[in-house]
Chain A
Amino acid sequence: MRLVPEDKQAEETPNATGSESALESADLSAGYGDRQVLEQLSLSIERGSITALVGPNGSGKSTMLKALARMLHPRHGAVYLGGRDIARLPTREVARRLAILPQAPTAPEELTVAELVERGRYPHVGPLRLFSDADRSAIARALTATQMTEFRARPLDSLSGGERQRAWIALALAQETPILLLDEPTTYLDVGHQFEVLDLVRQLNIEQGMTIVLVLHDLNQAARFSHRMVVFEEGHIVADGSPGDVLTPKMLARVFNVRAHVVPHPEDGSPVCLPYGLAGVDGVENGALTGLPVSVPEAQASG
């Protein structure tokens, strides 16, 4: 049951503003306190695509996402949203064009799903204006797209992890932005709920033409659900391209320090990596594929 209305279809979004890249970083350096995390990164996010940022812990992928969303001010370089320097755009205008779901968002205990999702209209209504019909339908669409309509009166506390994550995504959808950034949206979810979230991401991309950038820990999910994978290592981009080009044994050995086989997924041919040991450690015979996919579901090579 797809209730997303026709007027939010893909066609209008891609060419809305002339430039091809929805979001772009140029020569971007950023960090926290004394620690520089990103070193002069240039990354251009194509309109209407799903881009997965991957890499070991502390490689700078989440930092990149925050910098792209203007949550972190660049030390050097700039981020461009639709061709304009994001640091110079009014905060609420940025929020009408780009939504980000942080990694571990918090809300008051008693807050209900509807009350949460309603707040996604803040960029449009500001502190004092009343909700219009347009606002109410945006909220309803967000609830429908995430299949949260029936939960709308429930407190967040009473939801499962997957439901809660969908409620937060609904908040971002109510913002009605063409760009959505997600920071590890599947963390702490069991595998079924992970797919729930990722299927939703794919559906938003296909049906609404949303440009999506997400940080993912699981390489196989990144390969399966993204058009493009960008691999981070120590603040640099070390690989960038289609999942088939990026997810290779060589990259896995170099960046994640694991030996792995990469095989096409029997279902759809997307590349799947099967790590079987540390790259630096001897004793594991390269090529000795046991055939038992024991280590497959959690390809979180670096933990």
Chain B
Amino acid sequence: MSVTRASPAAPVSPPSAPRLEVSPAARRFPVLLVGGLIIVAVLVVLHVGVGPVYLSPRQVVLALIGHPEIPYQHTIVVELRLPRALIALAAGAMLALAGAILQSIMRNPLAEPEMTGSVAGAILVTVLWVGFGESGVVPAVWYMPLVALAGGVAAGLVVYVLTWRGQSQPGRLILTGLLVSAILRSGASIVLLVHQAAIGSVMLWLIGSLNGRVWSDWGILWPWALPTLLLGLASARWANVLQLGDETAASLGLRVEWARAALLFLAVALAAGAVAIVGGIAFLGLVAPHLARRVTGADARRVFPLSMVIGAGILVGADIVAQVALPGIQLPVGAVVAVLGAPFFLYLLRRRLR
């Protein structure tokens, strides 16, 4: 009988500590999160197996835990391929979280990192650097990502300042961000046309690519990814309160302008950090949080982590496709994401306009 139940069951009368997480979306969340992580882990194993020398999932796992079937497999897996997979995971999670944060603070489900100007800013600064500098390649120099990051953050600040009218306005922010992005992107195009020698190396990065990413790239990415991802997750309750509109948020004791500026900066930092290493991957920051909200509701405490998992999974999965789709050619992963993401974007628009 239920009388002997050991766990402290919620009392029937509402006033004392009842169960609150009752929506189906909330109940599904742990399952979705764990399931998502398992799928991502499987994708990583497949991802590491793909390449000039194919390794079976079993061989990959054995090499990863330090007992490779044949010693050279350890070299392939750990030294050559693992950094690429890790970068895909981190960059995917960062772009997705940036999108999730933006969608909640802009109260616009179609917001994405591009709309902060940060992606275009990072691209322009990188192109300028490559065009006028002596290196001529992206991102062979260790500080290249930091340069891109600076450009992204600067562009984000410009957008924010242009939007400011005594208070920031989400709607205006999106339009200003798109306009600034367009200007910065055409600036990048002009620089590339003038310095045509740089086009070859920059083009892949512009579209977004994981080709040739090595441990040194990971070394640049993770110190940036770790704090920004953690701060992003920690900001979920702010985002939750901001979702209710400026007036309600203020009445709940949130310093609205501070919170929005901080979240916006976090989104810019996440997006610019990812772009610096993997380039201008579009649609990921739009699609991943959308899928997350679709399955787990509107609460940022669930949407943020789930978006990260989905974003990481999409980028790793797309990079597998990028490597195997055309024999002998490595596609830029950004092109694969766009080919899959653009139709999804159209589908979203159709659903919203219906």
Whether A127 touches B237, Cβ cut-off 8 Å, given contacts A91-B255, A144-B15, is: yes
Structural contact, A108 and B243, CB atoms closer than 8 A = yes
Collect the chain B residues with CB atoms within 8 Å of residue A127's CB: 234-235, 237-238
A70 contacts which chain B residues (CB < 8 A)? 250
Q: Which residues of B contact A (CB under 8 A)?
A: 13-18, 20-26, 104, 107, 234-235, 237-238, 240-241, 243-245, 247-248, 250-255, 293, 297-299
Q: Which of A12-20, A92-100, A195-203 contacts B (4 or more CB under 8 A)?
A: A92-100
**Residues in A neighbouring B21, C-beta threshold 8 A:** 114
Interface 1/0 per residue, A62-88 and B, CB below 8 Å: 000000011100000000000000000
Q: Which residues of A contact B247 (CB under 8 A)?
A: 71, 100, 102, 105
Q: Which of A106-127 contact B (CB under 8 A)?
A: 106-112, 114-116, 118-120, 122-123, 126-127
Give the residues in chain A near B298, CB-CB below 8 Å: 107-111, 115
Query: Considering only CB atoms, which chain A residue lies closest to B10 in the complex?
Result: A136
Which residue on chain A has the smallest CB distance to residue B258? A91
- The residue of chain A having its C-beta at the shortest distance from the C-beta of B302 within the complex is A115
Q: Which residues of A contact B (CB under 8 A)?
A: 3, 5, 69-71, 91-96, 98-102, 105-112, 114-116, 118-120, 122-123, 126-128, 133, 136-137, 139-141, 143-144, 149, 152-153, 155, 171-172, 175
Chain A residue at minimal CB-CB distance from B27: A153
In the complex, are the beta carbons of A69 and B14 less than 8 A apart?
Answer: no
A95–B248 Cα distance when bound, in Å, is 10
With a cutoff of 8 Å between Cβ atoms, the chain A residues found around residue B255 in the complex are 91
Q: Is there an interface contact between B18 and A140, defined as CB atoms closer than 8 Å?
A: yes
In the assembled complex, 8 residue pairs joining A and B whose CB atoms fall closer than 8 Å, in A order, are A105-B244, A107-B244, A114-B20, A119-B240, A122-B254, A139-B20, A140-B20, A152-B20
Apart from A91-B255, A101-B251, 13 more pairs, CB < 8 Å? A71-B247, A99-B251, A107-B243, A107-B245, A108-B298, A112-B26, A115-B240, A115-B298, A115-B299, A126-B237, A140-B17, A171-B244, A171-B248
Contact of B15 among A91, A95, A102, A140 (CB under 8 A): A140
Select which of B107, B234, B240 is within 8 A of A128 by beta carbon: B234
A-B pairs, top 7 by smallest CB distance, nearest first, are A95-B253, A92-B253, A108-B298, A123-B253, A102-B247, A140-B14, A153-B22
Q: Which one of B18, B251, B255 has the greatest number of beta carbons of chain A within 10 Å?
A: B251
A129→B166 CA distance, assembly (Å): 31
Complex: A126 Cα to B236 Cα, angstroms: 11
Residue numbers in B under 8 Å from A71 (CB-CB): 247, 250-251
User: Are A140 and B244 in contact (CB-based, < 8 A)?
Assistant: no
B25 contacts A3, C-beta separation under 8 Å: no
Choose among B16, B238, B252 the residue that contacts A175 (Cβ–Cβ < 8 A): B252
Contact of B243 among A91, A111, A144 (CB under 8 A): A111
- Return A110 CB to nearest CB of chain B, in Å: 4
Residues of B within 8 A of A119 (CB): 240-241, 244, 252
Are A111 and B253 interface neighbours, CB within 8 A?
no
CB distance from A141 to the nearest CB of B (A): 6
In whole angstroms, what is the CA distance A115 to B105 when docked? 17
- CB distance B293 to A110 under 8 Å? yes
Give the chain A neighbours of B244 by CB distance below 8 A. 105-107, 116, 119, 171
Q: Which of A94, A123, A137 contacts B16 (CB 8 A)?
A: A137
> Which residues on B sit within 8 Å (CB–CB) of A93?
253
Least distance between A168 CB and chain B CB atoms (Å): 8
Residues of A within 8 A of B240 (CB): 115, 119, 122
Tell which of A108, A114, A126, A137 touches B107, judged by Cβ atoms closer than 8 Å: A108
Q: How far is the CB of A303 from chain B (nearest CB, A)?
A: 24
Given contacts A105-B247, A108-B298, contact A143 B14 (CB under 8 A): yes
Question: B residues within 8 A CB of A112?
Answer: 23, 25-26, 297
Of the candidates A101, A115, A141, which one forms a contact with B297 in the assembled complex, judged by CB atoms under 8 Å apart? A115
In the complex, what distance in Å separates the CA atom of A118 from the CA atom of B300?
13
B13 partner, pick from A3, A92, A108, A171, beta carbons under 8 A? A3
Q: What residues of A have a CB within 8 angstroms of the CB of B293 in the complex?
A: 110
Evaluate contact between B15 and A137: CB separation under 8 angstroms: yes
Interchain CB contact under 8 A, B254 and A91: yes
Q: Is the CB of B241 within 8 A of A122?
A: yes
Please indicate the chain A residues that have their CB under 8 angstroms from the CB of B253 in the complex: 91-96, 122-123
Assess the B245–A105 pair: CB atoms within 8 A: yes
Contacts of B252 in A (CB 8 A): 95, 119-120, 122-123, 175
- The 8 Å CB contact of B14, one of A95, A107, A111, A141, is A141
A69 to B22, CA, bound (A): 32
